[in-house]
Amino acid sequence: MSLSQLAPEQVLRRLELQIVRRLEGFLHGDHFSLLPGPGSESAEARIYVPGSDDVRRIDWALSARTTIPHVRDVIADRELETWTLVDLSPSMHFGTAAMEKRDLAIAAVATMGLLTFRVGDRFGAYVLSQGMLRRLPARTGRPALYGLLRSLMRESASQSRLADPAPQSFGAAITSMSRTQRKRGLRVVVSDFIDPHDASSDVQATPSWERAMRELAERHQAIAVEIIDPRELDIPNVGYVLLQDPETGQVRQLNTADRKVRRRYAVGARLQRERTARALRRAGVAHLVLRTDRDWIADIARFALEHRRVARRAHRRSSRVRQ
């Protein structure tokens, strides 16, 4: 059942039970969230881990003295400010499995809010919907988080499945959040990363939003949550069908009985996802993929635990070097 079909309070209770019962205990400690958070005060150094550490945090002086690359961790600020950009554009109003993509996006925001909740912390959101970017102010406390989630559910339920092409692009929305919220903190972008401005058939082309994501990651801890439905990856053999692009409204007839058509569709979808992953990797953004046909809570837990293991291994290596 879609979350939009339930009463807001019932949705919030169900989400909290699902998230807290299964994730509580995975993440603990003061602001030791999904990833090591940013801060303003330097902490101890440790050995650089290729592919996991940001090269911008390399301590060049220490690396030169030891001839081994080291990074300098930072102590997270006592109060964490989290902002999330929620993409509720027409392509998010689609789903063929347990839930629609927009419902999974709201569930992901609820998870981030509950996991980063501490006394004094602030959580806010930007919503890209109906071609407009709306700001939901950052406030402290669990009631404020629930109020934000109610606003997201109302926004999701009120939007039609087909809208005019957004006058504000996805990349511009990311830039707006990055430049208006300057205090260092956690920034989460929840989207399917399907932008009509990237209509080019060249899968090697740079996505229009990559530069904005790079700018966001330069100042903040950034996480990209990609929402996927299985029917976006391949299509079954159901004969002739009419497919409508939710972003542009363009309609096209497709013969799914043709094996070559299904193969081209699957290859195109795979290349598009690979382009998204490469762009996020170049931008230095942590990438979490959630699917509507999978256990999204387990996927978030695996994502968090993997980064915890990387941090612990790096800490042990650094301790051995100091000894």
Are 253 and 232 in contact by the 8 Å Cβ rule? The answer is no
| pLDDT, mean of each 10-residue run, the chain (323 residues) | 53 68 54 45 70 76 87 62 92 86 92 74 89 90 87 76 62 92 88 78 78 92 93 89 78 89 90 92 93 88 71 53 49
Phi, psi dihedrals of residue 11, rounded to the nearest 5°? -65, -45
Four-CA torsion 39, 44, 50, 55, nearest 10 degrees: 50
Distance between CA atoms of 188 and 99, rounded to whole angstroms?
A: 21
pLDDT at res. 33: 47
Identify the helix (H) or strand (E) that includes residue 40.
strand 39-47
List 38's β-bridge partners, or say none: none
pLDDT at res. 177: 94
277: left (phi over 0), alpha (psi -120 to 50) or beta: alpha
Please return the burial class of 186, using the count of CB atoms within 10 Å of its CB with bins 0-12, 13-18 and 19+: buried
Q: What angle, rounded to 10 degrees, do the helices at 210-219 and 170-180 form?
A: 20
In 3D space, the residue among 153, 198, 144 whose CA is nearest the CA of residue 171 turns out to be: 198
Are 209 and 189 in contact by the 8 Å Cβ rule? The answer is no
Q: What angle, rounded to 10 degrees, do the helices at 296-322 and 8-23 form?
A: 40
94-106 burial, b for 16+ CB within 10 Å, e for fewer?
A: bbeeebbbbbbbb
Assigned token pair, 148: 């934000």
Assigned token pair, 211: 């530069």
CA 91 remoteness from chain centre: 16
Are 200 and 207 in contact by the 8 Å Cβ rule? The answer is no
pLDDT at res. 311: 54
Domains of the chain, each with CATH number or no CATH: 3-28+78-231+276-308 (3.40.50.410)
- DSSP labels for 135-178? EEEEEESHHHHHHHHHHHHHHHHHS-SS-PPPSS-HHHHHHHHH
Assigned token pair, 86: 């929620």
Distance between CA atoms of 176 and 187, rounded to whole angstroms?
A: 12
